[in-house]
Amino acid sequence: MNILVVGRGGREHSVIMHLEKSDRVGKIYAAPGNGGIEEHATCVPIDEMDIEGLIQFAKDKNIDLTIVGPENPLNAGIANAFKEQGLAIFAPTKEAALLEGSKDFAKQFMVNHGIPTAAYETFTEAEAAKKYVEEKGAPIVIKADGLAEGKGVIVAETKEMALDAIDKLMVEDAFRGAGRKIVIEEFLDGREFSLIAFVHESNVFPMIPARDHKRAYDNDEGPNTGGMGVFAPVPDITDDIVEYTTREVLQKAADGLMKEGRPFTGILYAGLMQTATGTKVIEFNTRFGDPETQVVLPLLENDLLQVILDVMEGKDPKLSWKNEACVGVVVASKGYPNLYEKGALIPDTKTTEQTFVVQAGTKSTEKGLVSNGGRVLLIGGLGDNLEIARKNAYELLRVYDDTDAFFYRTDIGISKI
């Protein structure tokens, strides 16, 4: 089969590395891809948002299946457009992808379908939002309603931080329209984790739980990012918690979308908080999580392409997982998630059977591989347990200790979240 993967990040690199293991895969294309992806697939210079260009490419190259990584083309209707042209695509329609595209929609949806989540209010006026914060106090969570590349959530520890966040989102329009409407939520205290599932209509097949480290610096300090590291499985998230979350969150979401006439096919991601009163949803994503995908897929024993095909055909893929652990540490450009420079030379990294590199913000040049984004790459380690997996990953990271162009957290897999 000829496969097209849409996207340019670490998530897509990881997906492609696992797709190429399948005997059923012929040629893999990536649009637009990155410096690491081009070692595993043919990269084509078509932007993720050029839906017409992607459709024409799929026709020209006889693409048998398209898999979409990032959220923006999903919410722009790439699945709808492909299906209208009779092209197979593993991705939710824009109607189903609204579960990620609008925080307000997602919160209303959860309330309507009995999915546990934090109490909230939605605002379109800054003054009303500020009055609400004054009444409720802090800590409190401020979220941009629209897509903001994982940076539109501010966990405000003080009222002043919350008021500043409202100004940033609604008055200064820091996220180009995504924050003109905001959701303000109660702060949830507990242990955060992610659970991702393959979904087709009412069929839900959960993966193993992972835990992402969102804060930029050690000890979970600094601003929120798209993720600075991740590990799987999560020892304190028991099988009972996974079963409860699958039933009360993922299954209810899939069934609710069916009832609303927006059936879901693709990857459904739940960002969750294990609180003293049970599991609650922080957010839904309608695609593979990044960086969770980079540590979950290495533990999957199945043929990834066969899993996707089975799910799309309404079959049980019978997911099987290695009895191992995986830890991934993100190497980021100095300054991220704020201003940072591109073009820094990336040190050569020699992987072993128990380590791997997933590239995200990279670019191939005449002088070698250089940085081309905030989160540059992820160094992964596998092992019989988290401690060994963590040790393997950090041994590979030593090559970054002699450069001031990059930074990484030293406590992935051990800090309390």
Check whether residue 206 and residue 234 sit in a common domain: yes
Is the residue at 118 inside a domain? no
- Are 134 and 199 members of one domain? no
Point out the domain boundary residue: 180, 200, 218.
180
Say yes or no: 245 and 291 in one domain.
Answer: yes
Q: Which residues contact 417 (CB under 8 A, 6 or more apart)?
A: 191, 192, 211, 213, 220
Give the domain extent around 65: 3-93
Per the domain annotation, does 109 fall within a domain?
Answer: no
- Per-residue pLDDT of the chain in tens (417 residues, 90 and over written 9): 999 999 999 999 999 999 999 999 999 999 999 999 999 999 999 999 999 999 999 999 999 999 999 999 999 999 999 999 999 999 999 999 999 999 999 999 999 999 999 999 999 999 999 999 999 999 999 999 999 877 789 999 999 999 999 999 999 998 888 899 999 999 999 999 999 999 999 999 999 999 999 999 999 999 888 899 999 999 999 999 999 999 999 999 999 999 999 999 999 999 999 999 999 999 999 999 999 999 999 999 999 999 999 999 999 999 999 999 999 999 999 999 999 999 999 999 899 999 999 999 999 999 999 999 999 999 999 999 999 999 999 999 999 998 899 999 999 998 544
CATH number where 228 lies: 3.30.470.20
- Return the CATH number at 21: 3.40.50.20
The per-residue pLDDT for 110 is 98
* 306 shares a domain with 198: yes
CB 195 within 8 A of CB 242: yes
Q: Do 199 and 298 belong together in one domain?
A: yes
pLDDT of residue 176: 87
How many domains does the structure of the chain reveal? Answer: 4
Q: Evaluate whether residue 358 is within a structural domain.
A: yes
User: Could you tell me if residue 152 is inside a domain?
Assistant: yes
Residue 392 lies in a domain: yes
- Both 283 and 359 in a single domain? no
305 and 267 co-located in one domain:
yes
Is 225 in the same domain as 288? yes
Residues 214 and 267 in one domain: yes
Domain annotation covers residue 108: no
301 shares a domain with 371: no
Same domain, residue pair 146 and 220: no
- 131 in any annotated domain: yes
Residue 403's CATH number: 3.90.600.10
Cβ-count burial of 390 within 10 angstroms (0-12 exposed, 13-18 middle, 19+ buried)? buried
What is the model's pLDDT at position 190?
95
pTM: 0.95
- Please tell me the predicted confidence (pLDDT) of residue 417: 42
